[in-house]
């Protein structure tokens, strides 16, 4: 069975400091993994994706994530937080062979302190 | 570059009323999805479609129906709205089975009183 766990429901960092949003997944098959960002009252925007190519994936707005199969993790990082990064972030895992096997994490709310 | 457009953006229904949410995409995507988003629960798949004329049930299909008569449109219907259907609804589309990601609409906030 597939599942995805976002380990923190809320993360607060100061502007200019690093960001770490944690995601662990469980999948019987090689998954595709994604991070999406949702700003208040907006739809979800794709930040980055892992689809069995390079394990270190670079996304938009300076975000990146590393796929670690041994740890079943896909944590999202950014070296220096900006006020505009304040949003909800979702980790998503999909099973390639099935359109219905798309599992969203419960989300992590990122707050940025001035 | 519209992407995925959802209408309406907001709606208030009385219990027992019916309504249809419209999702339109202009990217020629085969796959389309309807999700609902509730606090602390992430997004849950209601129904999806793998092509024109096809529909399938997702994780939480009860109380909803869908139709995909045209490739670019995916309609979500509530025949008899219930307060438990108060939620934010998102439509999404994808080129394939989601390997390359999904494009989401901006959402419909539905309140059932």
Which residue of chain A has the CA closest to B95?
A: A99
In sequence order, the 6+-apart residues with CB closer than 8 A to the CB of A99 are: B31, B33, B48, B50, B56, B97, B98
Question: Is residue B71 within 8 Å of residue B52, measured between CB atoms?
Answer: yes
Q: Least CB-CB distance to B101: which of A41, A49, A107?
A: A49
Interval A19-77: pLDDT, tens: 999 999 987 677 888 999 999 878 889 999 887 778 899 999 999 999 998 899 999 99
Q: Residue A99: is its pLDDT beyond 90?
A: no
> Is there a contact between A96 and B105 if contact means CB atoms under 8 Å apart?
no
Burial category of A76 from C-beta neighbours within 10 Å (exposed 0-12, middle 13-18, buried 19 and up): buried
> Is there a contact between B40 and A9 if contact means CB atoms under 8 Å apart?
yes
d(CA B92, CA B88): 13
Which residue of chain A has the CA closest to B94?
A: A99
- Strands (DSSP E) contained in B8-101 are 10-13, 19-25, 31-37, 43-49, 56-57, 65-67, 73-78, 87-94
Which residues from chain B sit within 8 angstroms of residue A96, using beta carbons? 97, 99
- Give first-to-last CA distance, chain A, whole Å: 41
Q: How confident is the model at residue A101 (pLDDT cuts 50, 70, 90)?
A: low
CA-CA distances (angstroms) from residue B50 to A100, A108, B39, B75?
10, 30, 28, 14
Q: How confident is the model at residue A5 (pLDDT cuts 50, 70, 90)?
A: very high
> Is there a contact between B98 and A32 if contact means CB atoms under 8 Å apart?
yes
Q: Residue A11: is its pLDDT beyond 70?
A: yes
Q: Residue A96: is its pLDDT beyond 70?
A: no
Collapsed DSSP state (helix, strand, coil) of residue A20? strand
Instruction: List residues of B whose CB lies inside 8 A of any A CB.
Output: 4, 31, 33, 35, 40-45, 48, 50, 56, 58-59, 90, 92, 97-107
Q: What is the pLDDT of residue A93?
A: 86
Low-confidence ranges of chain B (pLDDT < 50): none
Q: Residue A97: is its pLDDT beyond 60?
A: no
Q: A residues 71-100 near B, CB within 8 Å?
A: 90, 94, 96-100
Nearest-Cα distance to chain B for A9, in Å, is: 8
Q: What is the pLDDT of residue B101?
A: 77
Using CA atoms of A78, A80, A83, A86 in order, give the dihedral in degrees to the nearest 10.
Answer: 20
């Amino acid at each position: 069975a597939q599942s995805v766990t976002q380990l923190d429901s809320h993360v607060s960092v100061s502007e200019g400091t690093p960001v770490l949003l944690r995601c662990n997944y469980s999948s019987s098959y090689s998954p595709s993994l994604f991070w999406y960002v949702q700003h208040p009252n907006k739809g979800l925007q794709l930040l980055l994706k892992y689809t069995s190519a390079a394990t270190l994936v670079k996304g938009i707005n300076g975000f990146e994530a590393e796929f670690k199969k041994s740890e079943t993790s896909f944590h999202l990082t950014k070296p220096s937080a900006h006020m505009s990064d304040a949003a909800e972030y979702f980790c998503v895992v999909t099973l390639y062979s099935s359109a219905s096997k798309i599992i969203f994490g419960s989300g992590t709310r990122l707050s940025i302190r001035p | 570059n519209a992407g995925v457009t959802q209408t309406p953006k907001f709606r208030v229904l009385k219990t027992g009323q019916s309504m249809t949410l419209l999702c339109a995409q202009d990217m020629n995507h085969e796959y389309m999805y309807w999700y609902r988003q509730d606090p602390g629960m992430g997004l849950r798949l209601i129904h999806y479609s793998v092509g024109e004329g096809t529909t399938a049930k997702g994780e939480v299909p009860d109380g909803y129906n869908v139709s995909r008569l045209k490739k670019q449109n995916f309609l979500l219907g509530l025949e008899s709205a219930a307060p438990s259907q108060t939620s934010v609804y998102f439509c999404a589309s994808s080129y394939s089975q989601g390997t390359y990601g999904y494009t989401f609409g901006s959402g419909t906030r539905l309140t059932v009183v």
